[in-house]
Amino acid sequence: MTEDYYWVWRFLAEMHDDAVEPDAWARAIEPVFRPGDGTAAGTKRSTEMIYRAWDTLQQLSDEGATVAREVLTCFLNEFERDFLSGNRNEDLRKVAEQFCESLVELPAGEFQMGAPPEKQGVSDDVRKHLEEFLRQEGDPAARAESLVDQLYSYTPGKSGQEQRRGDIAWWTRILRDNDLDAVVRNQYPLHETPEEPIQQVSDFLLARWPTINAWYRLFSPEHGAGEVYYREKYSEVSPEINTPAIFVSWYDAWAFCKWAHWEQRSCRLPREHEWEYAAKAGTPWKQNYWWGDEFDGDKCNGDNRVGRTTPPTDDHANPWELGDMLGNVWEWTADEYRKQYHRDKPAESSARVLRGGSWYNNALNCRSACRNNGLPTVSFYYGGFRVARARRS
């Protein structure tokens, strides 16, 4: 999908139900869902369009539309048919099995979500660093463009480019006005206490690690290694097959979870309350980290002490044997962002929630209760995701 055709595909994906002729629509949208062949050229997926077209395709399939059912079934069967079965090759079968075996069962339970007010917000050290950054010399617009291109990546197409322009405009104003308060409100809001602090969590499955390159490249064969503008950055930050996949947008993470389908069900992203429940792992809710209140670089890849992602290690596993819940990469969740988390109330924006901090971020960002958010079109060199899955009933 090229930028020239972005709005054509989006019009098709979001066509009103009254205008949809089932078979014709399904044949037109089929290229978006077409299985890959294991090569970069033969596995081009528009994850944004998969997301936007999903509900219509699912509805038509459920209503018995033959072509829609064939398109959906082919997409959902790819992981099990081509990888778990060994039809592609034996090495990829082992990777697929490793991914499936990474999912561990977490018990149902109750916990207190969030953090005490005094532990939220920006620290004095971070505030001082931000003040120094804002005072640096240079043209605000040029500095803003450089900063945005350093920090973020955007999905191809006009929506991604519009978001990039919006981010540049915001940072240009911040740098021009030296607006520290706006940066603090945006980057360190007091938003960690939900409307209902006591949360009930049903049992579910969660991956022991963040999604690593080897797993994600089953879905996108040359992710981070192909002809992309962030290839050099990728090779610096997360080059190994067993380090986390980065530069993954929310759309990418969502589509991978749908595609990772076997035994008649797909994976999914964890809900925000599920993620925090797993991160705290039964430890006192007021603690900053699962091990205590003081940051420990031996238990978490954070605070830019290593300067890149690291492979999963038992040293970073919490009491429930989940590795890198804190640090290494920010992890997308299923939830749209709300200033106060509430799983059933309407969202306040199209932004999605990320949790856990990263190798790059300061220690405060790696706390169990820390929240972040980003638009679904944006990806980061310090962001990835972790997969969840419902238990078989």
For residue 272, what is the enclosing H or E element? helix 272-280
Instruction: Read off the pLDDT of residues 139-168 as tens digits, 9 standing for 90 and up.
Output: 999 999 999 888 777 766 677 788 889 999
Residue at 102: amino acid letter: S
pLDDT band for position 105 (cuts 50, 70, 90): very high
Question: CA 136, 172, 382 angle in degrees (round to 5)?
Answer: 80
pLDDT at 5: 80
Bridge partners (DSSP) of residue 152 are: 380
Residue at 176: amino acid letter: R
Q: What are the backbone dihedrals phi and psi of residue 194, each rounded to the nearest 5 degrees, phi first?
A: -75, 170
Instruction: Read off the pLDDT of residues 257-286 as tens digits, 9 standing for 90 and up.
Output: 999 999 999 999 999 999 999 999 999 999
pLDDT at 124: 84
Q: Give me the DSSP letters along 229-259.
A: TTHHHHHHHS-STTSBP-S--HHHHHHHHHH
At the topology level of CATH, where does 90-116+197-389 sit?
Answer: paralog of FGE (formylglycine-generating enzyme) (3.90.1580)
pLDDT band for position 28 (cuts 50, 70, 90): very high
pLDDT at 156: 65
Beta strands 330-336 and 383-385, pairing class: parallel
pLDDT band for position 334 (cuts 50, 70, 90): very high
Count other C-beta atoms under 10 Å from residue 271's C-beta: 20
Half-sphere exposure of 208 (CA within 13 A, CB side): 18
Q: Which of 102-111, 124-133, 213-222 has the lowest mean pLDDT?
A: 124-133
Q: At what angle do helices 158-177 and 180-187 cross, to 10 degrees?
A: 140
CA distance 293 to 366: 11
What pTM, to 2 d.p., does this model score?
Answer: 0.91
Q: How far is CA 10 from the centre of its chain?
A: 22
Q: What are the backbone dihedrals phi and psi of residue 196, each rounded to the nearest 5 degrees, phi first?
A: -120, 90
CA distance 74 to 27: 13
Give residue limits of the domains in the chain: 1-88, 90-116+197-389, 122-187
Q: What are the backbone dihedrals phi and psi of residue 130, each rounded to the nearest 5 degrees, phi first?
A: -65, -40
Token look-up 């299923």 returns 334
Instruction: Read off the pLDDT of residues 36-90 as tens digits, 9 standing for 90 and up.
Output: 888 888 888 899 999 999 999 999 999 999 999 999 999 999 999 999 999 999 9
Count other C-beta atoms under 10 Å from residue 223's C-beta: 21
Instruction: Read off the pLDDT of residues 186-239 as tens digits, 9 standing for 90 and up.
Output: 878 889 999 999 999 999 999 999 999 999 999 999 899 887 888 999 999 999
pLDDT at 285: 96
